[in-house]
Amino acid sequence: MNFKKILKIFSGAFAGLLIMAINSANAFTACQVTDVGGVDDKSFNQTAWKGVQDAVAKHGVESKLLESKAETDYEPHLNSMVSAGCDIIVAVGFMMGEATKNAAEAYPDTKFTIIDFAYAETLANVKGQVSATDQAAFLAGYLSAGVSKTGMVGTFGGINIPPVTAFMDGFAWGVKHYNKVKGTNVQVLGWDPDARDGLFTNNFDSLDDGRAFAQNLYDEGADIVLPVAGPVGLGSASLAAELGSDKLKIIGVDADMTMTDPTRKEVYLTSILKHMDVTTLSVIEEVKSGNFSGGVIVGTLENNGVGLAPYHSLANVVSSELAAEVEELRKGIISGSIVMNK
Amino acid sequence: MNTLNKNEIENTKSKRSKIIGLSLIFFGFVIYLFFGLGIEGQATFRLSRPTDPFALPNLILPAHSFIGLSALLIAFFGGRIIMKAPKNFTIFVALSFFLAIAAFLVWATAGKSFSLTGMLQATVVRAVPIALAAMAGIMCERVAVINIGIEGMLLAGAFAGALFGSIFGNLIGLVLAILVGGGFGFILAALVVTFRVDQIIAGVAINIFVLGITSFLTSHLLKSNPELNDAPIFKSIDIPFFSEIPVLGSVFFKHNIFVYFSIFIVIVSTYYLFKTAYGLRARAVGEHPKAAETLGISVIRTRFNHVIIGGMIAGFGGAWFTLGSVGRFDEGMTGGRGFIGLAAMIFGRWHPIGALFAALVFGFADSLQQKLAILRTPIPSEFLAMAPYLVTIIVVAGIVGNAKPPQAIGKAYVKEN
């Protein structure tokens, strides 16, 4: 046994002790890396962060946050969270899919969870959180078709990616279902679920685009608009507030916009809810109790992972029959008696 | 020798008109081939909204014959240019472009309908921040200071507008946004005029600094105090009588003060730069500062003044994003409009009216792509979204070509004692 070998063993043991010391000194830490929308986007970044904060309040864990300013921030932010010794890293958004996969493969001992992404092959240390938003959007589409006076409703998205278009799909199918049931011809502008193309701002941060796109849909006759572009939708809401909710109504996405954007609450007909705070919290709890496994957790109407917000200030334009029909529809989707894409 | 040169010039001229004429004929042929063949139905353009005081009948164009006619006319223009070799054929080229766009629109709309008035109104609205950014650029570059920092100044104006507008109301918010813009103009002037920092680097530094500081303040101030990020918006003001004119009334006279002020700024700065002694002096500083200095014009002071005014215009343009559009600030919400404004400035050959038209071209491309996405043309939406940028590139690279910036641009001035 030469000197070098002894040194190696000692230094190895020392490093091990050091890591153990750090680990035991650190409390359980849940960390979040946001998408470019920022943590106050009144949308999915904020909802996921609420899940982390719920864990802080409920289990006394610690939390860390890094906000991405550009797509190039994803990997460095994830890496710095890894080196900060996080127990679970919450990556927000479909756009971070690639970066999270890379980080998870590079650091197999760190646990990740990613919002809005399900990997084709299961990674043992990543839990994807996806939502069957089309189910809730289907209800919103049916509701809008019933409320619209012009017989036209509109939607636009941020980028043509599955978590965005799931909303638009469900919305368009819901309108189609209404037409089938009622024999009407309500039209959807801005998305064609068969051609898989439509109206997109191609960004998630230019609020002015939200206003311009909603104006455009309004000019074409739509009196209800569903913006699926994070904070960009707030621009649409400000147009609706200026025009008046009798002329243009907005459907919120991800969070109940009546609560998150209270100054313009009168323009929101309803919101398509994604309860990622619920799924995020349950993933954190899984890690904490040691039951974490890689894979996917899906939020549905059934497990309350997605849903429709109350009608709040515009409840008066939703007739009681229509509200009852939407409730029936919800049960129908849960039981499987209603197939959405038909 | 002299006559030979003349002949050579004549030859190249007729050669050029032949090339342009032939390409127009080819262009007309291509338009008919791609858009005209096998198309049926009518294109319906709605001219009035249901809410307008006078409902205009819709403009209905039979697709096939309209496209055929446009293609024929373009080819005819081409033939005319070859035959007559006129001195100035820009008008024919411009008309051909207009016809080509009209033919394209009719092709996209065949069998459907859309609101033409709405599209034109959106064109004006979307052009506003770009035109203002371009005006800011012109003010600086006419005195030979390159302002790459316009994007940052817009962002600073937007932030100041949202913050101060929420506290003091939109009018004071607007004034403070203009002052903040002017402040950044002063910083830029101090850096590049006094300390002779490289102008590009100084501008980039301003962009990065503003992006950082506004993001920081957003996450540390606005996030925890949402009432500080809820500014009242300037409502649109209908100009009496003019706003009642069908189509034109909606397009030009039903806007908020930002649109009217932009047009005002364009007119005033045109008059100032080209009709007043002060404007002449400013341009002299931009073209030949040493000569200007020998005539008793203070180059340093002139540059300072104009860069500060440019910053104030950019601050005003930035306030449009928050006080004129959505009433709240979000990080990076100006979305590169400052850079597009710089392109508009070059396209407009450093002339306010030219820049305004350039901004309108961009605004048109932008609202056109939205309409096309709603109409569901076979062109993918990602490609359509490129249209405004594509137009900018084509215009800057192709049409502007040899536009000349002020002679002394980018050069620091050292006063000789």
Q: Do B267 and B381 belong together in one domain?
A: yes
Burial of B149 from C-beta contacts in 10 A (0-12 / 13-18 / 19+): buried
Residue B200, domain member (yes or no): yes
pLDDT in the model for residue A18: 47
**pLDDT 10s digits, A138-152:** 999 999 999 999 999
Q: Which residues of chain A are within 8 Å of residue B230 when distances are taken between CB atoms?
A: 263
Q: Do B97 and B217 belong together in one domain?
A: no
Q: Which residues of chain A are within 8 Å of residue B122 when distances are taken between CB atoms?
A: 212, 215-216, 219
Cross-chain Cβ contact A219/B367 below 8 Å: no
Q: Do B165 and B217 belong together in one domain?
A: yes
Which CATH number fits the domain that encloses residue B170?
Answer: 1.10.3470
The pair of three-digit structure tokens given for residue B367, joined into one six-digit string: 């609202």
The pair of three-digit structure tokens given for residue A117, joined into one six-digit string: 């992404």
Name the H helices within B145-198.
150-168, 170-189
Q: Do B103 and B131 belong together in one domain?
A: no
Q: How far is CA B117 from the centre of its chain?
A: 20
Residue B412, domain member (yes or no): no
pLDDT in the model for residue A317: 92
Cross-chain Cβ contact B382/A207 below 8 Å: no
Summarize the confidence of residues B41-45 as an average pLDDT: 86
pLDDT in the model for residue A24: 43
Judged by DSSP in three states, B271 sits in helix
Range of the domain at B65: 2-111
Nearest CA in chain B to A261: B226
Q: How far is CA A165 from the centre of its chain?
A: 12
The type of residue at B226 is P
Cross-chain Cβ contact A69/B211 below 8 Å: yes
Q: Which residues of chain B are within 8 Å of residue A205 when distances are taken between CB atoms?
A: 330-333, 335
Q: Do B105 and B123 belong together in one domain?
A: no
Banded model confidence at residue A321, pLDDT cuts 50, 70, 90: very high
d(CA A309, CA A293) in angstroms, rounded, equals 31
Q: Which residues are paired to A198 by β-bridges?
A: A191
Q: Do B87 and B210 belong together in one domain?
A: no
Nearest CA in chain A to B322: A208
Taking chain B, what is the end-to-end CA distance rounded to the nearest angstrom?
48
Nearest CA in chain B to A189: B374
How distant is the Cα of A172 from the closest Cα of chain B, in angstroms?
Answer: 14
The domain boundary, picked from B78, B111, B144, lies at: B111
Q: Does A213 touch chain B (CB under 8 A)?
A: yes
Closest CA to B147 of B260, B293, B258, B312: B312
Residue A185: Cβ within 10 Å count: 9
d(CA A313, CA B10) in angstroms, rounded, equals 74
B241 pLDDT more than 90: no
The pair of three-digit structure tokens given for residue B58, joined into one six-digit string: 């819709």
Residue B410, domain member (yes or no): no
Residue % of chain B over a pLDDT of 70: 93
pLDDT in the model for residue A43: 74
Residue B417, domain member (yes or no): no
A59, A283 in Cβ contact below 8 A?
no
Residue of A10 and A214 predicted with greater confidence: A214
In a mutational test of the A interface, the residue from B209, B333, B383, B384 whose CB has the highest number of chain A CBs within 10 Å is: B333
Average pLDDT, chain A: 88
**pLDDT 10s digits, A86-118:** 999 999 988 899 999 999 999 999 999 999 888
Look up residue B45 and give its DSSP letter: E
Q: Does B7 touch chain A (CB under 8 A)?
A: no
Residue A263: Cβ within 10 Å count: 14
Summarize the confidence of residues B246-261 as an average pLDDT: 89
Q: How many Cβ pairs within 8 Å bridge chains A and B?
A: 112
Q: Which residues of chain B are within 8 Å of residue A193 when distances are taken between CB atoms?
A: none
B128 pLDDT more than 80: yes
Summarize the confidence of residues A271-289 as an average pLDDT: 90
A342 pLDDT more than 70: no
A255, A272 in Cβ contact below 8 A?
no
Domain count, chain B: 2
How distant is the Cα of A331 from the closest Cα of chain B, in angstroms?
Answer: 33
pLDDT in the model for residue A25: 45
B2 pLDDT more than 70: no
Cross-chain Cβ contact A212/B230 below 8 Å: no
Residue B186, domain member (yes or no): yes
B174 pLDDT more than 90: yes
Q: Which residues of chain A are within 8 Å of residue B373 when distances are taken between CB atoms?
A: 190, 197-200
Lookup result for tokens 């550009």: A70
Average pLDDT, chain B: 88
Residue among A40, A198, A215 minimizing CB distance to B373:
A198
Nearest CA in chain A to B52: A219
A318 pLDDT more than 90: yes
Q: Do B291 and B373 belong together in one domain?
A: yes
Summarize the confidence of residues A35-41 as an average pLDDT: 82
Cross-chain Cβ contact A40/B215 below 8 Å: no
Question: pTM value?
Answer: 0.83
Nearest CA in chain B to A46: B223
The domain boundary, picked from B89, B111, B133, lies at: B111
Residue among B218, B331, B380 minimizing CB distance to A197:
B380
Residue among B125, B332, B370 minimizing CB distance to A199:
B370
Q: Does B225 touch chain A (CB under 8 A)?
A: no
pLDDT in the model for residue A11: 55
Cross-chain Cβ contact B333/A195 below 8 Å: no
**pLDDT 10s digits, B83-120:** 877 777 777 887 888 888 888 888 888 888 888 888 99
Q: Which residues of chain A are within 8 Å of residue B235 when distances are taken between CB atoms?
A: 242
Q: Tally the residues of chain B.
A: 417
Dihedral angle computed from the Cα positions of residues B310, B207, B190 and B415, in that order, rounded to the nearest 10 degrees: -80
How distant is the Cα of B345 from the closest Cα of chain A, in angstroms?
Answer: 22
Cross-chain Cβ contact B330/A219 below 8 Å: no
Residue B408, domain member (yes or no): no
Residue B416, domain member (yes or no): no
Cross-chain Cβ contact B122/A219 below 8 Å: yes
**pLDDT 10s digits, A54-81:** 999 999 999 999 998 888 999 999 999 9
How distant is the Cα of A332 from the closest Cα of chain B, in angstroms?
Answer: 32
B196 pLDDT more than 60: yes
Q: Do B328 and B395 belong together in one domain?
A: yes
Q: Does A235 touch chain B (CB under 8 A)?
A: yes
d(CA A207, CA B321) in angstroms, rounded, equals 8
Q: Do B68 and B138 belong together in one domain?
A: no
The pair of three-digit structure tokens given for residue A185, joined into one six-digit string: 């011809």
Q: Does B404 touch chain A (CB under 8 A)?
A: no
Q: Does B49 touch chain A (CB under 8 A)?
A: yes
CB contacts under 8 A, B 370-399 vs A, are: 370-371, 373-374, 376, 380-382, 385
The domain boundary, picked from B87, B111, B135, lies at: B111
pLDDT in the model for residue B209: 96
B364-398 burial: b if 16+ Cβ within 10 Å, else e: bbbbbbbbbbbbbbeeebeebbebbeebbeebbee
Q: Do B310 and B371 belong together in one domain?
A: yes
CB contacts under 8 A, A 63-122 vs B, are: 67, 69
pLDDT in the model for residue B398: 60
**pLDDT 10s digits, B348-360:** 889 999 899 889 9
Q: Do B38 and B148 belong together in one domain?
A: no
Residue B415, domain member (yes or no): no
Q: Do B67 and B128 belong together in one domain?
A: no
Nearest CA in chain B to A236: B326
pLDDT in the model for residue A213: 95
Which residue ranges form the domains of chain A, and what is each CATH number? 27-131+277-299 (3.40.50.2300), 133-273+311-335 (3.40.50.2300)
